[in-house]
Structure 1
């Protein structure tokens, strides 16, 4: 590194240009090669510092107690942009390993003149998802009043809702992590249509707007799944939930292209809490090449997908989304179509029949190469 510095001291634009003017281009090539080597060496050194810093931050986050929390917050406030960890990831680690009372006292009960509001916002929802009652801790109750209104997380409910049950979280240690594998199609609630199915295609067309499509795919998009699609169909008359299993394979769904009349198509009616759990896992833990967006934003994007699927109007409150979702009829399906790869827990389809039974929305997601 000192040699590189010595070489660079006398170097200026005029000198380089003068060498070129005199035809000494071989010198410039050699100089360029030396600079490229030293740039790569400096970049590797920077990466190594980053790895070490990230490990120090992780150790502080996973070491239980108020002292480690205090030191972590001081470090984050002073060097937030350089620590190598996003606040949503740190919030997930803290919620997993620290006591709620310590988090409330150290993270939330402090002056709000620092730069850690994003961390607090994420941590607040991480704790809610883990069943912490904010009424048990004054600083958590206060956060609902003083939190910044610009945060997208402020839209979420301040209490755990009935459908947000049996939440899956990853498990992290100082040097490793593991996560749940999800669940496939259940045996209960099965409504598989008899085969051979009709080969006649429905005349219905996808009517999903760009905004609705974006809302429906919010969870797999956030989790960086390999592929996803969304479709919405409207009927002139109400249909019954019993009609959905036979209707789905006839619709113009790209995820079911090429599905023959005897190919596997399995479908089950599911309660809304299991659909929410699937969407949450998709966003929060991510696909095979992603670590996801963790608990707080996983919660947000699961709600966003639920809103699009249930047909809740854009800009509605979380209470409106919950009402629409709880009154909808939900289905989970899998198929031996080319779009799906049928790897365990890496493919799924969701269909939602609206409360008036005249709208059917579909989300398909795959996370295979």
Structure 2
């Protein structure tokens, strides 16, 4: 290294960085510290420039995805097919969502199905498959789409999902986006129908049931709000020695040792409705896919996955169950949607909810609570 090279690639008349220890030992610590300060400033500047480049890249990719026509699509796919440098993320999950929203399946199938020897389009393809499916595309009409779910490098989490829309997936809320921005509906409200609010004043006696959720179960239950970047979420599991009838659950929930009902007392607001399985799936899907006040969400494909996984864990389906087995199980589960004025919830801008599930054998109650604020 040249003696005038400061180690940053610029000549500045300073000693080389790799001799810093010797210079410091000779009492020249000031120059060592000055160079360290200069390097931290250069790193900060470079980081800011890189962040700006990433924002610009994201915008350009968005423009290509949304702009109509085959030319923009072809150039977008070529961009994905290039070897990407370190730190470059073309956001295939987001791009797949944009493509499915703004382009017809018939226009996508041919170009997206073209040969990809390195598997660089795998993530885009499998996400696009599920994005189109969620938007009502009949994937059986386009035979080539079946290949999109096969990835080159090992298995893929999305491969677990059903390859057709389930009867659970009927209440799908999707975002509306343009080049300059977009709109989404993330508000959560407790429905007026099927309300089963326990009468107040309620008992203040605490239940003797104990939370027995394992770490793995807890993580899986909260997967949907975590994927959506919600502010806070928790999960609990309570096992009973006797059958619990569904009509007992609304009064039992406020007595359980859970932060989301702590401090309610006998008269604090606790409202609850019994809900069908598809309504719960819809709530979890919106939570994961649309995101929160400060998070863009997991988008459609992975939002679909985490909605299924959270619901499976809430309903008590076996960990190795297929999607078809999960659906059968959760349809036999009794579902509740609740809200409360406990301090655990932010109670701000319709971004709070609780879900309770009573298992088919009526001896397992699982709860998910999620909250967010702007």
* TM beyond 0.5: yes
Query: For 1:120, what is the secondary structure of its paired residue?
Result: helix
CA distance in 1, matches of 2:310, 2:173: 18
79 and 25 in structure 1: CA distance in 2 versus 1, 3 angstrom threshold:
same
Q: Which of residues 194, 198, 202 in structure 2 aligns to 1:197?
A: 202
Residues of 1 paired with 2:20 and 2:147: CA distance?
Answer: 62
1:110-125 alignment runs, 5 A limit? 110-125=115-130
Residue 62 in 1 paired to residue 66 in 2?
yes
Structure 2 contact 126–150 (Cα < 8 Å) conserved: no
Q: How does 1:113-262 map to 2 (within 5 A)?
A: 113-144=118-149, 150-262=155-267
Structure 1 residue 211 displacement after superposition:
2.5
Q: Give me the TM-score of the superposition, normalised by structure 2.
A: 0.90
Checking the alignment, whether the CA contact within 8 Å between 1:182 and 1:278 is kept in structure 2 is: no
Pairwise CA RMSD of aligned residues?
2.4
Provide the C-alpha distance between the structure 2 equivalents of 1:34 and 1:230, rounded to a whole number of angstroms. 48
Out of 343, 353, 359, the position equivalent to 1:354 is: 359
Deviations 1:86-139 (A, max 9, x none): 221111111111221122111124334341211111111111111111111121
CA–CA distance in 2 between the matches of 1:115 and 1:29? 44
Q: C-alpha displacement at 1:339, in angstroms? A: 0.8
2:54 aligns to what? 50
Query: Are 1:363 and 2:368 matched, yes or no?
Result: yes
- Aligned to 2:332, which of 327, 330, 336? 327
- How far residue 148 of structure 1 moved from its aligned partner, in angstroms, is 5.9
Equivalent position SS for 2:310 = helix
Note if contact 2:122-2:148 (Cα within 8 Å) is conserved in structure 1.
Answer: no
Alpha carbons of structure 1 residues 111 and 76: separation in structure 2 relative to 1, 3 Å: closer
Deviations 1:260-290 (A, max 9, x none): 1111110001111111011011111222221
8 Å Cα contact 1:230/1:362 also seen in 2: yes
Which aligned runs of 4 or more in structure 1 are off by greater than 6 angstroms?
A: none
Q: Contact conserved, 1:184 with 1:345, CA < 8 A, in 2? A: yes
Identify unmatched segments of 5+ residues in structure 2: 1-5
Query: Is the 1:184–1:344 contact (alpha carbons within 8 Å) kept by the matching residues of 2?
Result: no
Structure-2 change in CA distance of 1:105 and 1:262 (3 Å): same
**TM-aligned CA deviation for residue 293 of structure 1:** 1.1
Aligned-partner Cα distance in 2 for 1:25–1:210: 50
2:119 and 2:152 in contact (8 A); partners too: no
Gaps of 5+ in 1: none
Residue aligned with 1:249, SS: helix
Moved more, 137-146 or 284-293: 137-146
Q: Which residue of 1 aligns with 2:3?
A: none
Greater Cα offset, 137-146 or 244-253: 137-146
60-69 vs 129-138, which moves further: 60-69
Mapped contact 1:341–1:366 kept (Cα < 8 A)? yes
Measured in 1, the distance between the counterparts of 2:175 and 2:31 equals 55
Mean Cα deviation higher: 133-142 or 22-31: 22-31
Counterparts of 1:186 and 1:201, CA distance in 2: 27
Q: When you count helix as a share of all residues, which structure comes out higher?
A: 1
SS of match in other structure, 1:275 = helix
Give the deviation of 1:239 after TM superposition.
2.3
CA pair 262-40 structure 1, distance change in 2 beyond 3 A: closer
How far apart are 1:158 and its partner, in Å?
0.2
- State the shift of 1:24 in Å: 4.0
Task: Give the superposition deviation at 1:13.
Answer: 4.0
Query: 1:53·1:84 contact (CA, 8 Å) conserved in 2?
Result: no
Q: Note if contact 1:57-1:83 (Cα within 8 Å) is conserved in structure 2.
A: no
